[in-house]
Every structure is written in structure tokens, then in C-alpha cells.
């Protein structure tokens, strides 16, 4: 168990969204693909992450039109970014200690995965199955 890497449990090739897209479009993607976190890109580069919670908080503000407000205005600009060989325990410890809901996995400049609470639950399920 201690030799597990984040790549063993991350969701590979996650769906992403451009920072200039609207909150409405982010909701559509999340519903379509049954996800709650989207890496946010600008010019093909990771610039943040947006969660369903981020969208709900932003849309709860007065005068926010989800058809006009962009993902950039709702995203977290400092996601936790790790490489695919990062030990799983290290990532889980960071997420728990800092209250993050996800980690973005990159290889070079490319987003190759995302790790969320659901991925952590899959790991826990596998542990119980042993």
C-alpha cells in the first residue's frame, strides 16, 4: 500500500474547460460526464481548477449570470499539482491537511489526470477487498 503512486488511482485523461467558458458550460460538462472537478486551461496550459462547489458559491452571489460569468471568475487559481509518480500517501496527506478537494496530475505541461475524493474512495474500497 505504501508504494502506491497517484497514477494508480487518478482519473486519467480528465475533461477540462477553458477559463473563458461560462459557468453554464461548466455545469453542462459536469453533468454530461458526471464529474465535480474540471482542470481549467488557458492556451492549453493549466491555470486552475473549478469544482461544482466553486460554481455554486459564485452563482449564489447577487447579480451573477451563469450565462455571462466565466470560469476564470469562479476557479481556484492555485490547484495542487503533482506528477504521476508522486506517492499516493503524499497527495492524500496534502489534500487532507490543506482542505483541497482534488489534485491535478501533470506530465510536463500536459494534464494527464485528476485525483478526487471519489478516487480516494476507490482506493479505500480496494483496500477493504484485500
Evaluate if residue 130 carries a pLDDT over 80. Answer: no
Domain ranges of the chain: 6-129
pTM here?
0.91
Tens-digit pLDDT profile for residues 57-103: 999 888 999 999 999 999 999 999 999 999 999 999 999 999 999 99
Rounded CA gap, 117 and 51, in Å?
Answer: 12
pLDDT at residue 1 in the model: 61
Level-2 CATH architecture, domain 6-129: Roll (3.10)
Amino acid at each position: 500500500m505504501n508504494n502506491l503512486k497517484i497514477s494508480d488511482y487518478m482519473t486519467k485523461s480528465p475533461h477540462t474547460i477553458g477559463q473563458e467558458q461560462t459557468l453554464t458550460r461548466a455545469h453542462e460538462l459536469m453533468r454530461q460526464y458526471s464529474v465535480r472537478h474540471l482542470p481549467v486551461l488557458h492556451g492549453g496550459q493549466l491555470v486552475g481548477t473549478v469544482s461544482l462547489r466553486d460554481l455554486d458559491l459564485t452563482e449564489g452571489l447577487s447579480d451573477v449570470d451563469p450565462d455571462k460569468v466565466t470560469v476564470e471568475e469562479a476557479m481556484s487559481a492555485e490547484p495542487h499539482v503533482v506528477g504521476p509518480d508522486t506517492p499516493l500517501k503524499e497527495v492524500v496527506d496534502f489534500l487532507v491537511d490543506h482542505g483541497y478537494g482534488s489534485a491535478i496530475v501533470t506530465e510536463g505541461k500536459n494534464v494527464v489526470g485528476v485525483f478526487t475524493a471519489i478516487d480516494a474512495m476507490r482506493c479505500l474500497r480496494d483496500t477493504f477487498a484485500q
